[in-house]
Amino acid sequence: MLKGKLVALAALERGDLKQLLEWRNMPEMRKHFREYREINLELQDKWYNESVCSNPSTLMFGIRRLSDNELLGCCGLVYMHPVYKHADLSLYIGWNGVYIDNKGYSLEACELLFDYGFNDLGLNKIWTEIYVFDTLKKNLYDSLGMSVDGVLRQNCFYNGKFWDSWVLSILGKEWRKRKDI
């Protein structure tokens, strides 16, 4: 378990799946995910068994509020590459349907993941892809020091039109410099 001041990142449990499924299927949340379609419990269970439990390149966590242990969302490092030492960042807060909150939960979850990824796992880079209409995540990732590496043109179809996506990243040396480590 990774603990901050507001949240802890804990291993996902099978009992978390129903809540995660409910959040993932909310249209206002789902528009930000690569999995564009509504999913059922069987697909959620398959993801849990094949990715979370069995795939060593995937580390997923439940984001839990320390004050009451309530599940707030999900985050992780996925597609971790053992040679290139990079991983894709995954994050959302489902609690109250906020997606990315303004109470510091998302921020602290990312900080805990970055510290863990760079300092404990020895990653060189953490990257992610977000759609250009995802201003909440863009603002969060900017505040964490992530840089735009490039644009994938018309990479998403939402609300009747094609949208670009950004590829963002932060290097371990950049994170450590920000944290004065």
pTM for this entry: 0.93
Q: Sorting pLDDT into bands at 50, 70 and 90, what band is 36?
A: confident
* CATH at 20: 3.40.630.30
Task: Report, as an integer, the average pLDDT of 19-45.
Answer: 88
With CA atoms as reference, report the closest residue to 111 among 60, 10, 179, 13.
179
- Percent of the chain having pLDDT more than 90? 88
With CA atoms as reference, report the closest residue to 34 among 152, 163, 156.
156
Report the domain count for the chain.
Answer: 1
The whole domain housing 38 covers 2-179
Backbone angles phi, psi at 155, to 5 degrees: -95, 0
Q: Sorting pLDDT into bands at 50, 70 and 90, what band is 181?
A: low
For residue 27, pLDDT over 80 is answered with yes
